[in-house]
Every structure is written in structure tokens, then in C-alpha cells.
């Protein structure tokens, strides 16, 4: 009976581990991209239980334990890049002219949350150059507009559907545009940011919808939006930053494909997970809030900030524009099959061309 129970649990472990290899876009498949850390931990617990309880003179005991080891190894393959055991993808900046630094504070505020004072306190404490606020409605705009005295350049799209977005910037924004790339009620923002040195940086702020039973039954819309932006910035000579709540974890197949197609770098690789969601439940946390950038930048600081009452922690990232030092940095590259797959994903939904500020 004990062996049968362990085999049954092993089969469940294998199913939940490898179901994401199936390219089906239903939420109940794609959702298992998220809890890889939790599934890996449970697999370790299962392995320890097997080692303690099973009779290893039986072949099926060895088979069961071996399958769990494979599950652990597979989950680790995805997770380890977001630990200090892995090589850092983005170098640490040793020096930077003040005019070539940029700091972005991104926060999914959770629309019903009314603790705007906590976010404003963080803005005043850390003094980012740009604040990106997500899930903002008209009430949040009325609260955040006090920043306009020191953040005079803004993009505002208040919505009451959990997909409002606001950008407040100390730095000049040029050629800015609010777009609804895939869904008519889900905005994205695109602009040129002028650093204090005069250097122009192309920025894209995103918040696509997740695959879930309460939103989209499939990941089609999210995946298409991410890959549309990835293709639009690929091989650009201009410095690029993409940030936001992507409703996808750092270690998912879609985010990995985004990195490959775009050529952008992830400063978390080799440094940590920086799990930003869920702020209230430590046992189900994963990295949903992202910032990717081109090789023109090195990292000055990346930090998860204190809770503001939302289900997301705010994230702060400071980058240094030092293209000569950054040009040797390497990300991950897509092969021809992956590029073809990305094109197929984009073609699955009607979409608009991504505004590319500065051409």
C-alpha cells in the first residue's frame, strides 16, 4: 500500500512538473509555469519520504525515486539561474556619471487598495527618476498627481478594470504613445526618455492579462503582447528598457522566449528571484514584476521595496548607461525554430504594430 501511494504521488509530481512542456495555451496548463519553486520543494519532501519509507530491494521503489529526482532536476534547471549559484547576466556598475543613471520604481498598486500614502512615501524616500504605477484608476490618479510638481512628464490611462497605468517622470518624455496592442481595454505605454546627459532611451511599460479562469482562459493574448514588443526592440541600436507586471514568472517558457527574441538582459539572473507577488502570502511568491534592458546598461541597484498594501511589492531598479562596458554582456539567443514559434504566437491574435519611439 505504501509503495502504491508513493508511485501515485510520483505520477502526480511528474504530471505537474512536465505538463508545461505541452504547448497548449489553456490557463490550467500555463499556470504550472508559476509554482516551480513550490513544486520543487514538494518533490524534495516526497523524495525524502521515499528514502525513509520505501523498501529499495524492490525495483519499483528505485523507479519511483528516480522519477522524483528527474522532476527536481528539471525544476532546478529553471530556477537556479535566479539564484547566486548562476553566472550574473548583467554586470555590476562600478562607476557612473550622474547624468547617465536612471532609476525606475514600478508598483502594481492593486486598484481597490487605498494606501496611496505608502507608495508616495517610497517615492519620496528613493527618489526614482520614473514611477510606473499599474492597476491605477481615477482615484489613484488623483492621489498620485501631487507628484507632478517634481514629476512633470506624465502618461495617464486611468481605468477601473485593474489595467489602468500611470507614468510619472522627472526626465523628459518624447514621442510618447499609449497603445492597446492586443486587447481593447489593456494599455501599454511607449516613449523616449531623455537622460540628464541627453542620451535617449526607448522605454516600454506593459501589463498584459494573465491566463486564469477569471480573466483569459488562455495565455494567447499575454504571450502575443510580450512577443510583439520583443520583436519590435530586437537588434535595435538604441538603448531599450522594458518593464512592468508581465503576469508571467521570470522562469516561464514565454518570458524566456521574450528574452531570446528581444535580446534584452535580465538583471536578476545570478542575483536572486526578487519575488514580488504575492505580498501577503510568503508560501506562494514568485517574480511577476520585471525589468529587462539592452546591453547598454549595467546594474547599480535592484531592490524589492516594502509593502504598500497591494498584493505586489514595489520594485526599484537603478541602471547605469555605460555602453562600452556593457557591450560584452551576453543574454540568451533564439534559434530559427523558436523565432518561427514566436511568429505563430503573434499571428494567433489581431494586433497593432508596437510604437517604437525614435524609430
What's the whole-number mean pLDDT along residues 30-53? 93
pLDDT at residue 77 in the model: 95
Compute CA distances 142 → 126, 189, 352, whole Å: 21, 20, 30
- Per residue in 120-136, pLDDT tens? 999 999 999 999 999 99
pTM: 0.94
7's CB contacts (< 8 A; 6+ apart) are: 60, 64
Q: Which of 123, 170, 120, 169 is nearest to 140 (CA)?
A: 120
Domain residue ranges of the chain, discontinuous segments joined by +: 2-82, 98-347
What's the whole-number mean pLDDT along residues 305-329? 96
Count the neighbouring beta carbons within 10 Å of the beta carbon of residue 292. Answer: 27
CA 306 – CA 304 distance, rounded (Å): 7
| Residue 280 CA neighbour count, 13 Å, CB half | 5
Q: What proportion of the chain, given as a percentage, has pLDDT over 90? A: 82
Domain 98-347 has CATH 3.60.10.10: yes
Grid cell, residue 99, equals 547624468
Compute CA distances 237 → 1, 2, 50, 102, 323, whole Å: 63, 61, 54, 18, 11
Quick one: pLDDT band at residue 24, thresholds 50, 70, 90? Answer: confident
What's the whole-number mean pLDDT along residues 67-81? 96
Amino acid at each position: 500500500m505504501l509503495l502504491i501511494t508513493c508511485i501515485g504521488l510520483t505520477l502526480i509530481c511528474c504530471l505537474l512538473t512536465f505538463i508545461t512542456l505541452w504547448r497548449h495555451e489553456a490557463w490550467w496548463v500555463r499556470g504550472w509555469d508559476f509554482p516551480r519553486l513550490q513544486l520543487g520543494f514538494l518533490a524534495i519532501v516526497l523524495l525524502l519520504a521515499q528514502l525513509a519509507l520505501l523498501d529499495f530491494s524492490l525495483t519499483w521503489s528505485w523507479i519511483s525515486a528516480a522519477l522524483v529526482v528527474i522532476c527536481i532536476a528539471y525544476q532546478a534547471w529553471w530556477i537556479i539561474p535566479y539564484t547566486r549559484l548562476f553566472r550574473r547576466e548583467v554586470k555590476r556598475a562600478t562607476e557612473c556619471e550622474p547624468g547617465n543613471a536612471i532609476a525606475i520604481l514600478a508598483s502594481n498598486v492593486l486598484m481597490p487598495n487605498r494606501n496611496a500614502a505608502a507608495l508616495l512615501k517610497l517615492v519620496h524616500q528613493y527618489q526614482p527618476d520614473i514611477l510606473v504605477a499599474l492597476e491605477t484608476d481615477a482615484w489613484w490618479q488623483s492621489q498620485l498627481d501631487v507628484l507632478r510638481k517634481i514629476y512633470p512628464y506624465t502618461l495617464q490611462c486611468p481605468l477601473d478594470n485593474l489595467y489602468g497605468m500611470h507614468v510619472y517622470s522627472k526626465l523628459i518624455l518624447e514621442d510618447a504613445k499609449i497603445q492597446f496592442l492586443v486587447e481593447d481595454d489593456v494599455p501599454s505605454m511607449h516613449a523616449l526618455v531623455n537622460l540628464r546627459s541627453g542620451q535617449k532611451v526607448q522605454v516600454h511599460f506593459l501589463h498584459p492579462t494573465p491566463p486564469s479562469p477569471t480573466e483569459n482562459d488562455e495565455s494567447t493574448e499575454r504571450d502575443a503582447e510580450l512577443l510583439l514588443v520583443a520583436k519590435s526592440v530586437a537588434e535595435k541600436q538604441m538603448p531599450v528598457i522594458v518593464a512592468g507586471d508581465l503576469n508571467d514568472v521570470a522562469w516561464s517558457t514565454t518570458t524566456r522566449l521574450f528574452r531570446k527574441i528581444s535580446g534584452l538582459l535580465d538583471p536578476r539572473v545570478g542575483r536572486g528571484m526578487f519575488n514580488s507577488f504575492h505580498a501577503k502570502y510568503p508560501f506562494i511568491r514568485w517574480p511577476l514584476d520585471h525589468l529587462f534592458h539592452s546591453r547598454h546598461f549595467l546594474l547599480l541597484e535592484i531592490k524589492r521595496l516594502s509593502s504598500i498594501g497591494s498584493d505586489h511589492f514595489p520594485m526599484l531598479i537603478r541602471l547605469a548607461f555605460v555602453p562600452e562596458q556593457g557591450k560584452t554582456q551576453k543574454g540568451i539567443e533564439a534559434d530559427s525554430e523558436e523565432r518561427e514559434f514566436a511568429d505563430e504566437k503573434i499571428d494567433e491574435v489581431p494586433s497593432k504594430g508596437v510604437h517604437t519611439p525614435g524609430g
